[in-house]
Amino acid sequence: MGWLGLDGARVLVMGAGGLGAACVRGLAEVGARVVVADVDQVKLKALVDEPELAAAEVRPLPADLTTSAACDAAVHAAAGQLGGLDTLVHAVGANDRRPIEEMPDEVWERILTLNLSTAFWAGRAAARLMRSAGGGSMVFFSSVSSQLAHPNHGPYAASKGGLDQLVKVMARETAATGITVNAVAPGYTETELTRDYLAKPGVREGMTDLVPAGRLGVPEDVVGSVLFLASPRAAFVTGQVLYVDGGRTLV
C-alpha cells in the first residue's frame, strides 16, 4: 500500500467508534501515525490496545468535542504530538429516530452540534494549520441521508445535508492552498449507531432489500475510500461527496 503515500502521514481521527476505528486500523496498516480523539476513554483504550495495532503509532486523545474550544484544542494537541497535521478524518456522529413532530429541541440541537458543528470547528482549526504548512487533506463522514428522505431522520439528514455543503465551500476556499476537503457518504452500515435499530423485527431485511448489492455495509467498506481521499493520490480531488452505499442512491 506504499503507493498511497501515507507512510508517516500525521493524522487526527475524530471518533473511535465503528467507522472511526476502521479508519484508524486502515491508516495504521499503511504506516500513518495516528491520534484518535473520543470522549469515551474505555473505547479509546480498547482501540489502541488492539493486538493488530501493537506495532503502529496510534495515540489516544480523550476529548469532548462538542464545543468550538474543545475541537480547536484537540486539533492543536494532535498536531503537537505528531509534529504537525497532514490529515483530519472526522467520524463523529449520532442519530435519533423519531418523527419531526415528536423531536425535542434539545435532541435537534445535540445532533446538529455533534454531526455538523464539530465538523465546522475541527475543519476550521485544521485548515488554519494546514494553510500555514502548505497543504493537507480532510475527510468527513456524510451519509446517504443527505440525499434521501428517510423518515424519522430529520436532524440527522439536515446535519448531513449541511455537512455536504460545508465540505464544498471549505474545499472552494482552500483549494489554492494545497488543502483537499472531501466527504465519504456510507449507505446503511452495521455499527454501534445502527445495532439496536437493525435488531427490530423486519428492519434488517427491509433495509437490505433497498441495496442493489444485496447486503448492508460494514465499517471496513469505507476504509479504502478514506485512505484514497486522504492521500497524495487524491491531490486534485476536492469538494466531492463519495457514496459508499452498495448502490443505495441509485434506486
* Residues with catalytic roles: 156
DSSP state of 116: I
| Cα 84 to Cα 14, 32, 202, distances in angstroms | 16, 13, 48
Please give the grid coordinates belonging to residue 49: 490496545
120 and 70 in contact (C-beta within 8 Å)? no
The answer for residues whose C-beta is within 8 angstroms of residue 197's C-beta and 6 or more apart is 97, 203
Grid cell listed for 240: 466531492
Cβ of 144: how many Cβ atoms within 10 Å?
Answer: 24
Cell of 40: 469515551
First to last CA, the chain: 34
CA pair distance 53, 73, nearest whole angstrom: 25
Residue 7: CB atoms within 10 Å: 11
H/E stretch holding 43: helix 41-48
